[in-house]
Amino acid sequence: MRVRLIPAEHDYLNDVQDVPRAFVPFMEIDGDADNFLKWSCRYADGRFFCSIESDVFGNAEKSFAISDADVSVYKKYTKRFIKNFLYDFLAEKIGKKLPYGSLTGVRPTKLYYELSEKTDNPYEYLIDEFHVEPARAKIVRDCVKNQKGYKNSSDENVALFVNIPFCPTRCSYCSFISTEIGRVKKQIPLYTESLVEEIELSKELVKRAKKKVTSIYVGGGTPPALGAEYLDKVLSPLKEYNVEFTVEAGRPDVITDEITDVLLRNNVTRVSVNPQTFKQSTLDLIGRKHTVEDIYTAYDRVRGRFDVNMDLIAGLPEESFDDFAESIEKTLDLRPENITVHTLSLKRGSVLTLSGAVKEADGLIKDMGDFAIEKLYDAGYVPYYMYRQKNMADNLENVGYCLPKKQCVYNVDMMEESISVIGSGAGAMSKKISGNRIDRLSDPKGFREYVERTDTILRQKKEFFSF
């Protein structure tokens, strides 16, 4: 669907457009389109007005009286009013409600924290004001509850992140900047050299600023794709911290005995072994190039030696409700410390999206998400972090669950943006957080550029992290 969006009087296009997009994934916004959707808000004669006009859906207007004393408050919340009004309007016209109502941001928990300071019952507020369905409001509430004691609260602490943008093969739903390792084997020594140099600088910055490292996350990509020798070079400068140290081992086929030894030797405490599904034909279809048996073998290698996270995805192509339910059951049988349930998010650049293999979801994925929530709660897991993305099937979410007291500190701090992060590696993002202010610095995404510009990157990083 191509549509012209016309925000009148107020420039809220970026935020408000996420509401129609949530109803119509991949809606094309085009200034020359014939169809249009226009919204506006105004205050006049003691009343606040919201109006919508559309050649497709018709027109609507809503107004309510407000006192002069409240005008500044209403102005502040104009964007929220427009989004809520537009949500109600489209829900009625399209005949469909969304699990998160008019909420469109990446971090619903951040909003919950904000609401907690203004209202006694943020859970009810999510339901009444934003039309979030109760099961989803509960997830948001419980994530916040389960972050207590894990979310960072001190400026003295920092997290370290290292990015390894290589994988054995490319999954068809992937839109990350990750290169198949087989194509670039010869460049790995140079990449590792630059990366270790940046990690050493990160350590120096931590020391100089007298900060304390509270968690480390090595992700990507699939870090073990580097092979044992180079993975060891990357991890060994980090082993001295003795803090929560996660390596996203990711693809089960790369978790060999040799790799496991490297992880143990370097004081890694947490790994991800990501099945995504336990259905072989789906694994083949999405280009994972490993077997279901590999998942069990990899899990046997790491269980009891590390805390383990396992990722699953609801909405993979050609998967039925039963397929997904079986993956949940099989994962629960293994009882890893963490289970992360993702909803397939179609990115414009992914092979799946380009091939059109996944059609618009129509409630099936929501049933899967509901099943996952019920099963994981029943099995004693609790949700502790969550985030949402654009174009998620059935407008759902990604939720990290854990067994009691097995929260991953890094995940909590990342999602809540509650700690500064010093990132290293191609595509890594550094964040400097002070109060409500967040400054960001991104390393070049391409690993070749990263290697060629290492000196400049290090110089910029020193300037950025003058703390």
CA 234 – CA 428 distance, rounded (Å): 15
Residue with token string 């009691």 = 404
Cα–Cα distances in angstroms (integers) from residue 364 to residues 10, 134, 313, 322, in the given order: 37, 19, 13, 11
How many positions of this chain bind ligand SF4 (CB under 6 A)? 11
HEC secondary structure over 352-396:
HHHHCCCCCCCCHHHHHHHHHHHHHHHCCCEEEEEECCCCEHHHC
- DSSP-assigned letters across all residues of 120-183: S-HHHHHHHHH---HHHHHHHHHHHHHTTTTS---TTEEEEEEEE-EESS--TT--SS-EEGGG
Reduced to 3 states (helix: H, G, I; strand: E, B; else coil), residue 230 is helix
Tell me the residue type at 432: K
Between 185 and 207, CB nearer to ligand SF4: 185
Identify the sign of the CA torsion 144, 146, 148, 151. negative
Residue of 251, 270, 290, 366 that binds ligand SF4 (CB under 6 A): 251
Using CB under 6 A as the binding rule, the residues of this chain from 378 to 407 that contact ligand SF4 are: none
Between 167 and 376, name the residue whose CB sits nearer to ligand SF4. Answer: 167
Q: Which is nearer to ligand SF4, 41 or 174 (CB)?
A: 174
Closest approach of ligand SF4 to the CB of residue 435, in Å: 33
Q: Which is nearer to ligand SF4, 132 or 254 (CB)?
A: 254
* Closer of 85 and 278 to ligand SF4 (Cβ): 278
Q: How far is the CB of 147 from ligand SF4 (least distance, A)?
A: 25
**Residue 16 near residue 7 (C-beta atoms within 8 A):** yes
Question: Least Å distance between CB 174 and ligand SF4?
Answer: 3
**For ligand SF4, which is the closer residue by CB, 169 or 266?**
169
| Complex with ligand SF4: residue 167 or 188, whichever CB lies closer | 167
Contact flags string 418-447 toward ligand SF4, x per CB under 6 A: ------------------------------
Of all residues in the shown chain, the one whose CB is closest to ligand SF4 is 174
Start-to-end Cα distance in the chain: 47
Binders of ligand SF4 among 332-371, rule CB under 6 A? none
Query: Which one of residues 101, 108, 122, 250 is an interface residue with ligand SF4 (CB under 6 A)?
Result: 250
Task: Kindly state the smallest distance separating residue 142's Cβ from ligand SF4, in Å.
Answer: 27
Nearer to ligand SF4, 93 or 445 (CB): 445
Cβ-Cβ contacts under 8 Å for 159 (sequence gap 6 or more): 213, 214, 215, 216, 217, 410, 413, 414, 419, 420, 421, 422
Considering the complex, what minimum distance in angstroms separates the CB of residue 219 from ligand SF4?
Answer: 9
User: C-beta of 247: minimal distance to ligand SF4 in Å?
Assistant: 13
Write out 17-58 in H/E/C secondary structure: CHHHHHHCCCCEECCCCCCEEEEEEEEECCEEEEEEEECCCC
Give min distance, CB of 126 to ligand SF4, in A. Answer: 31
- Least separation in angstroms between residue 175's CB and ligand SF4 is 8
**Shortest Å, Cβ 178 to ligand SF4:** 4
Report the nearest approach of ligand SF4 to the CB of residue 97 (Å). Answer: 31
Q: Which is nearer to ligand SF4, 160 or 254 (CB)?
A: 254
| 220-239 footprint of ligand SF4 as x/- string (CB under 6 A) | xxx-----------------
Q: By CB under 6 A, what part of segment 163-222 binds ligand SF4?
A: 167, 170-171, 174, 176, 178, 220-222
Helix then strand count (H, E) for the chain reads: 18, 18
* Contact yes or no for 351/173 (Cβ under 8 A): yes
* CA 444 to chain centroid: 20
- Residue 449's contacts (CB-CB under 8 Å, 6 or more residues apart) are 426
Contact between 418 and 412 under an 8 Å Cβ cutoff? The reply is yes
Structure letter (DSSP) for residue 318: T
Distance (Å) of CA 268 to CA 1, 245, 345 = 48, 5, 30
* Cβ-based nearer residue to ligand SF4, 171 or 234: 171
Query: Which of residues 144 and 171 has its CB atom nearest to ligand SF4 in the complex?
Result: 171
CB of 67 to ligand SF4, least distance (A): 53
Where along the sequence are the contacts to ligand SF4 (CB under 6 A)?
Answer: 167, 170-171, 174, 176, 178, 220-222, 250-251
